[in-house]
Structure 1
Amino acid sequence: MLLLAEERGIFMSEGICYLYGAGTYYPDTVTSHNTGDMIIAVDGGYDFLCSHGIKPDLLLGDFDSISSLSDTGVKTLTFPTHKDYTDMYLAADEGMKSGYDTFVIYGGCGGRIDHTLSNIQLLSYITDNGKRAYLYADHYVVTMIKNDTFNINDVPFIKPEKGNYISVLSHSNESLGVTISGLKYETDNIRMTNSMVLGTSNEYIGKDFQISVSLGTLIIAFQL
């Protein structure tokens, strides 16, 4: 049985904050965790964790998608159905309050497209706060960087295979100084905008690579 966060004394930024939502789960979902990690069940994500014998550190939401809420024995935060923020947003906030810098989101895609889009927007919120988040989808992971550099060694758990797609798009109105090195198609200090599709379906060629932006926010989606 996993210990509660308070029992681990983890309110610092060494570990990973895992958010398990009510969306679709894929084979790459991580169900083992390290000391120092925080596990948050977001509404119906609690059902997934229960099915794998995992006790979260925190359960929160408006509980419109959970199968049962009786006697969980888990610290619980209940929110109204009518509110300004999504349950996943509130969960990310709790993780940031607890000092986490890295977020991994499962069950945040599939199902309703508006929920998927809002979770991509959530990546921007987390990134704006100086953190890094990874949204796991169907054989893809989506992340964002702001005025920063990204390489594959930043990503928990996975390494790409040669030939896998990596797409780079501008989330902000414009992104300046976009440099991509080590992928099949490289760029040097270019400008991208959020109305451009340049950057879709780049390719990993089996060597170290870097993606950087001087000013702006990039969406990076890479194939597993």
Structure 2
Amino acid sequence: MNKLIVEQDFPVTLVGGGALDPDDLAVARSVAPVVVAADGGANTALKHGVTPDFVIGDLDSISAGTQAELGAARLLHVPEQDTTDFDKALRAVSVPLVLAVGFLGARIDHQLAALNVLMQPHPSPCILVGEHEILFHLRHPVSVPTDEGDVVSLFPMRTVTGVSDGLQWPIQGLTLDPMHQIGTSNRAVGPCSLRSDGPGLIVILPKKHLLAVVDTFIRRPEPEA
């Protein structure tokens, strides 16, 4: 399924059915007021008083009551079982940025699946918002006003190299690889900048930098995969 359901020049909030801080949902909606739910994320959105504009997924987790409240026009049923609802939703939107809440926490298998989805060549870049951190696939250079001592973790999902500035342990000259050298628990010595020489690097930052990273994404065009 590659049909675009949402195509616009503004960011979108994507809600999953996992652990969700209502403050994170409020912050995401302040930047991205159009809300898309991934299947059972519709139940979560309504629980927090937010009516999703669209629901995308195989619809095996959305309650009958939620379906009735939203109406059939908002529901996009994608029956295939080869991909997650997170993946299905990202394939259906083309926007400058997706802010994804409710996809981290609780089950570790769901978190690992979410990281796998970030690696896929979707139309839109995505930031995953967790309880304490944000995660994104480094697909273009970013600069973040990190503070001295902030934890900056870099996890390679494949072999990748890159360049950093403002980290206690720079990554230039390293070959990062999930089976060998990883880059978790690095620390900022001040504002930092990061660039990878190809796809495959997950950046994990303190959640306090969410809006700064959002600004970085929406000011820079996303390169073609």
Q: Is TM > 0.5 for Structure 1 vs Structure 2? A: yes
AA of the residue aligned to 1:56: P
- Equivalent position to 2:160, from 175, 200, 215: 175
**2:212 paired residue number:** none
Instruction: Show CA shifts across 1:68-127 (max 9, x none).
Output: 2223146111233x521211111111112xxx13111111112332221111111111xx
Unaligned runs of 5+ in 2: 208-225
Match of 1:58 among 54, 59, 65: 54
How far the C-alpha of 1:141 sits from its partner, in A, is 1.0
Q: 5+ unaligned residues in a row in structure 1: which ranges?
A: 1-5, 153-158
Cα displacement (A) at 1:36: 6.8
Please give the alpha-carbon distance, in whole angstroms, between the structure 1 residues aligned to 2:69 and 2:49. Answer: 15
Q: Are the aligned partners of 1:179 and 1:190 in contact in 2 as well (CA < 8 Å)?
A: no
Contact residue 26 and residue 139 of structure 1 kept, 8 A? no
Question: TM-score normalized by structure 2?
Answer: 0.77
Question: Does 2:39 match 1:43?
Answer: yes
CA distance in 2, matches of 1:188, 1:210: 12
Between stretches 105-114 and 129-138, larger displacement belongs to 129-138
Could you tell me which residue of structure 2 aligns to residue 3 of structure 1?
A: none
- Letter matched to residue 140 of structure 1: E
Q: Look up the SS of the partner of 2:160 in the other structure.
A: strand
Give the AA of the match of 1:48: T
1:140 aligns with 2:133: yes
Output the aligned Cα RMSD: 2.6
Task: Flag the structure with higher helix content.
Answer: 2
| 1:221 equivalent in structure 2 | 204
Report the Cα distance in structure 2 between the residues aligned to 1:135 and 1:22, rounded to whole angstroms: 13
**Per the alignment, do residues 52 and 27 of structure 1 end up closer, same or farther by CA in structure 2, a change over 3 Å counting?**
closer
Q: Find the counterpart in structure 1 of residue 142 from structure 2.
A: 150
Q: Which residue of 1 aligns with 2:105?
A: 110
Say whether residues 1:164 and 2:165 are aligned partners.
no
Partner of 1:208: 191
In the alignment, structure 1 residue 192 sits paired with structure 2 residue 187: no
How far, CA to CA, are the matches of 2:178 and 2:201 in structure 1?
9
Q: Give the percent of matched residue pairs that are identical in Structure 1 and Structure 2.
A: 23
The secondary structure found in structure 2 opposite 1:166 is strand
Q: Is the 8 A contact 2:11 2:31 kept in 1?
A: no
Closer/same/farther in 2, CA of residues 38 and 93 from structure 1, 3 Å limit: farther
Residue identity in the other structure for 1:223 = P
Give the Cα–Cα distance (whole angstroms) in 1 for the partners of residues 171 and 106 of structure 2.
35
Greater shift, 57-66 or 85-94, is seen at: 57-66
Q: Distance in 1 between matches of 2:199 and 2:51?
A: 38
1:181: Cα distance to partner? 0.7
Work out the CA distance in 1 between the residues paired with 2:22 and 2:32: 24
Deviation at residue 203 of structure 1 after TM alignment: 1.2
Deviation at 1:34, TM superposition (A): 5.2
Count of aligned positions: 199
Change (3 A) 1:161 1:52: farther
Instruction: Specify whether residues 83 and 163 from structure 1 end up closer, same or farther in structure 2 by C-alpha distance, changes over 3 A only.
Output: same
